[in-house]
Structure 1
Amino acid sequence: MGRYIILDTGAILRLGKHDFMEDVLLTVPSVIREVKDKKALEKMFYLQDRIQVMEPSEQDCGFVKKFSKETGDFGFLSETDFQVIALTLSYHKKYDEILKLNSKPREISFVTKPEEAGNCEKGMDEDLQEAEMEAGEQKEQSMEDEDEWETVNGQSSRREEVQTEDEEEEDDEDEEDEVGEENEEVSKGLEDDVFSGGWITKANITSVMGGLSSGSQSHFVVACMTTDYSMQNVLLQMGLNLVEIHGLSVKTIKRWGLLCCGCYTYERDTSRKFCGKCGNATLDRVPIKVYSDGTIELDCYRKKVNLRGTIYSIPKPKRGVRNQEIILAEDQLMMGGRQRLLNHQRKKWEKACKERDPFSNSGADLESSWGKQFGSFRYPEIKIGMGRGNPNSNSWQKKRSNKKK
């Protein structure tokens, strides 16, 4: 029995006809429903006999969602991504080593003691004062020496400049010779490596230029193949195996947080929509890099806030279903019925997704009508204010007027 490889939509589209012939390829039903392009559908028909469609358990899906919330990738993963990771987890527990799995990501603690910070500031002030005193004394001594030895220092400095220029030219020539020899050796090595196996053809281009690879983990039983960096980040932190596609893999494992552009307050909960300090919807996603030695790096960049479209007229409230209340504060999210309405819309979206099956006879007849209906029916999310875009622009107003018609 070969290895078990769970595929994502991007992995299926990049998979060759003769790749992983000895392995068992698996995917979830929602991945097949995501394929819409004509060329992609033709490729799916060729690979239909090799790919097995399996459904993950609800318990594994719930665990993956909980784990992604702790890493900060929950808001950037779709329901299909959760199912692919959950299927990888279920097969890993059956056929691979369970000891590799992690129940929680590595804990990160940001400890700042005010006493130590105050002592550091005092020490820095004392060191600066001592350095300024020493610099003043050295300047006075140098001024006295210059007054006594003006002519001699001038002649000696000119001679030193001439000598240093000659020495630098000789050093540059030696370095150029060394670099030239190194380049010749490297070029010879590259020629030997490339032409040792013969000419580059269609058969060996993937092996020479780099194609599908399993990264550092060459021996595995169950692995996931995906091009989504958020999925790769969650997979690696869970302890699951990952198969690279043309080098499209993460270099460092990241944890995510939110940084407010208004007051520069850091929030660990990535599901928040408003800042907990100033209350504005100015939270940006920032990465926390976690290296293998345990060191942590936070990318705190100061992004300039764009104020275009922040001042606009609020429409009057309407009765019934047409009433679309604009969310401008975090307190409005706590009102009763809003989360229930959002869950109802998400269930409706999932039901529409299940009706889309490109390989069923019923779905082939409804493909054109389904595309028009489902194209405008996006995954429901909480919209802050008037949403993305500038509501004062003419293009935005034309789109809204066309939708009403």
Structure 2
Amino acid sequence: MALVEHVVADAGAFLRDAALQDIGKNIYTIRDVVSEIRDKATRRRLAVLPYELRFKEPFPEYVRLGEDLCLVTEFSKKTGDYPSLSATDIQVLALTYQLEAEFVGVSHLKQEPEKVKVSSSIQHPETPLHISGFHLPSKPKLPRETVEHGHPADEPEDLEFSSFMFWRNPLPNIDYDLQELMNVLLQMGLHVLAVNGMLIREARSYILRCHGCFKTTSDMSRVFCSHCGNKTLKKVSVTVSDDGSLHMHFSRNPKVLNPRGLRYSLPSPKGGKYAINPHLTEDQRFPQLRLSRKARQKTDVFAPDYVAGVSPFAENDISSRSATLQIRDNTLGAGRRRLNPNASRKKFVKKR
């Protein structure tokens, strides 16, 4: 089997003691991956590796775009895998994308993931096939010479020839444990290798299914169900068969529908600009938390009344009340808390 030119290794390759020297020529990783490894046995193996491990950080132009928007982050949000990815996983994805752009190019990569069509059945399973009075013609068959001299789809590929074609920047994974990381790579058009060196070709497809009204949607950015309006959407793995029927694969893990924290009553709603209320409906209004005119003058260098302070190019507000209380993020009020919101908490402790 031919060696791969460039391989980006995740923590799973080191934890499983994968023989990366037999898989690729140039092995890359980031320092955060090595810092995640805690067990002594793996750290001892990292100290005496039989190959050169190259540490490389992704460039800012491949990590962030525009107003702190990460390319791979936005793509993982569209596939629905972003909540399961850590910051280190995002860096590994960005490094893989960077190496593909440096040595191959990005023209063949996808900018949008493929959406699953929920109503994609070609023929209803209850449709009668043989009805008296109707003639259903058979499908036309290809000439025998075309099939013999052509390239059928079931013909196995020559891995030695296609190793340069398909194995440019694969990423060894922990078999099939890190499905989210593997799914984002395959959806983008990058290639993934298992720890045994086998090429992974199939990616999982996900939809959102409401466990209240049992409606499904392929829009992975939704939080509330478009049919019943409840926050009861769960990610479900699906496969589409040859006849177009959709098969959903449910998890047997009881923690998927964990009711922990839902037995407490809702906290009383609070008003004001800095109130933190749970996000219960899709059209719920929240305060915009905009800066006051005086606060904007402190950070706007082009304002006529701007007074140069310690840093004339200050962009982040760190002195206002909202910045001090760290409530500038709009996602703080979204969702239910695990603790009882009505429980009394000690605010002041009497000093002795």
Q: TM-score normalized by structure 1?
A: 0.50
Quote the residue 1:243 is aligned against: 193
Which of the residues 212, 216, 224 maps onto 1:262? 212
Alignment of 1:212-223 (within 5 A): 218-219=163-164, 220-223=167-170
Coordinate RMSD, CA, aligned: 4.8
- Which consecutive unaligned segments of at least 5 residues does structure 2 have? 64-69, 132-158, 291-330
What is the distance in 2 between the residues matched to 1:246 and 1:17? 8
* Equivalent position amino acid for 1:91 in 2: L
Please give the alpha-carbon distance, in whole angstroms, between the structure 2 residues aligned to 1:97 and 1:311.
52
Please say if residues 288 and 298 of structure 1, whose CA atoms lie closer than 8 Å, have aligned partners that are also in contact: yes
Distance 1:296 1:55, change over 3 A: farther
C-alpha distance in structure 2 between counterparts of 1:84 and 1:385, whole Å: 31
Residues 321-364 of structure 1, C-alpha deviations (whole Å, 9 max, x = no match): x97644433345754249xxxxxxxxxxxxxxxxxxxxxxxxxx
Which residue of 69, 77, 93 corresponds with 1:69?
A: 77
Distance in 1, Cα, partners of 2:102 & 2:76: 22
Question: 1:341 aligns to what?
Answer: none
Query: Residue 21 of structure 2: SS of its match in structure 1?
Result: coil
- 1:384 equivalent in structure 2: 335
Runs of at least 5 residues in structure 1 that lack an aligned partner in the other structure: 128-213, 339-379
Note if contact 2:4-2:169 (Cα within 8 Å) is conserved in structure 1.
Answer: no
Is 1:330 aligned to residue 282 of structure 2? yes
1:14-25 pair list within 5 angstroms: 14-16=16-18, 19-20=21-22, 23-25=25-27
Deviation at 1:33, TM superposition (A): 2.9
Structure 1 residue aligned with 2:246 = 297
CA–CA separation in structure 2 for the residues paired with 1:382 and 1:47 = 47
The letter for the 2-side match of 1:54 is K
Please, which of 226, 229, 233 is the counterpart of residue 276 of structure 1? 226
Q: Which moved more, 1:328-337 or 1:230-239?
A: 328-337
Is 1:7 aligned with 2:13?
no
What is the rounded CA distance, in whole Å, between the counterparts of 1:288 and 1:382 in structure 2? 31
SS in 2 for 1:231: helix
1:96 to 100, 104, 108: 104
Q: Which amino acid aligns with 1:282?
A: T
1:313 and 2:265 equivalent?
yes
| SS of the residue 1:285 aligns to | strand
One of 27, 30, 34 as aligned partner of 2:29:
27
Q: d(CA) in 2 for partners of 1:382 and 1:328?
A: 10
Matched residue SS, 1:93: helix
Q: Percent identity?
A: 28
Aligned to 1:39: 41
The structure-2 alpha-carbon separation of the partners of 1:71 and 1:306, relative to structure 1 and needing over 3 Å to count, comes to: closer
* Residues 1:37 and 1:309: Cα distance change in structure 2 (over 3 Å): same
Normalised to the residue count of structure 2, the TM-score between the two structures is 0.57
Task: Tell which structure's C-alpha radius of gyration is larger.
Answer: 1
Question: Deviation digits for residues 349-380 of structure 1, max 9, x if unmatched?
Answer: xxxxxxxxxxxxxxxxxxxxxxxxxxxxxxx9
